[in-house]
Chains A and B, each alone.
Chain A
Amino acid sequence: MASAVDAVGEPIPTSAVLMSASKHIAGRCRGENIAFLKCKKDDPNPEKCLDKGSQVIRCVLSLLKDLHQKCTKEMDAYPGCMYYNTDEFELCFKQQKEFEKACPLN
């Protein structure tokens, strides 16, 4: 599997990358997530919630880029392990611990 970012440096939101950063996403993009879900609950039409959706995507992608810049090695190792073990947390405890030590959830 290639790195978590493509050639330019933009983060690729694959399932392994997203699951690895899920705790950070839950912490930092919490407001955008809740706003988007509330909008969806009121009206499931995709066209009505496009703006909130783009806010969510922007928040998550910027978070991924930030994580990759702060702890590049762990951000390659942990999603690599998740990719190999199909997103099973219990098989990647070692990489998860190193990742949380390098980029703590504040």
Chain B
Amino acid sequence: MTEAFIRNKPGMASVKDMPLLQDGPPPGGFAPVRYARRIPSKGPSAVAIFLAAFGTFSWGMYEVGKGNKIRRAIKEEKYAARRAILPMLQAEEDERFVKEWKKYLEEEARIMKDVPGWKVGESVYHSGKWMPPATGELRPEVW
């Protein structure tokens, strides 16, 4: 009963003559839908992009070089300072070493005074150069 009430056509004889009620396109059809690709071909060219990348890289490496120069100057200052004070430190250590070595030689002479043919402080090497004592300890009171 309701269907006939909705789809009523005035002057229809029976239910079988009801007009169709469909969901369809509007009259004249739908508007056309674009589905084709439209990728624009504007913007920088390949050469321009390459030059921009290469230029950025070169500028960056130039800045790296500048920074390396500064760092090298700082390191050079530190090394020059070490070179300047090296003789002072070595001379102080030499004085301390000679004092200790004399004490050590006296001790050696006291221990080996009855051994015939013992030369106190004789070098154990045959090279002729002076070698520092190889006791394994540079400064026993410190280490």
Contacts and interface: CB of A to CB of B under 8 A. Distances in A.
B13 interface: no
Interface stretch (A1-9, A36-44, A65-73): A36-44
Contacts of A47: 98, 101
B87 A22 contact: no
Contacts of B101: 46-47
Chain A interface category by residue count: 20 to 34
B97 interface: yes
The contact size tier of chain B is: 20 to 34
Contact of B91 (A19, A57, A90): A57
Interface string B42-84: 0000000000000000000000000000000010011011111
Chain B CB within 10 A, most for which of A19, A40, A56: A56
Interface in A45-61: 45-47, 49-50, 52-54, 56-57, 60
A53 to B, nearest CB: 3
Given A18-B85, A23-B84, A90 B90 contact: no
A53 B74 contact: no
B91 A89 contact: no
Interface string B97-112: 1100100000000000
Interface in B3-59: none
Contact of A46 (B77, B81, B94): B94
B129 interface: yes
A49 B130 CA distance: 13
B90 to A, nearest CB: 7
Contacts of A56: 87-88, 91
The dominant DSSP class at the B interface is: helix
Contact of A19 (B85, B94, B98): B85
A25 B130 CA distance: 29
Contact of A32 (B87, B98, B130): B87
Interface in A22-39: 22-23, 25-26, 29, 32-33, 36-37
Nearest to A15: B85
B85 to A, nearest CB: 4
B122 interface: no
B74 A89 contact: yes
Interface of A: 13, 18-19, 22-23, 25-26, 29, 32-33, 36-37, 40, 43-47, 49-50, 52-54, 56-57, 60, 88-90
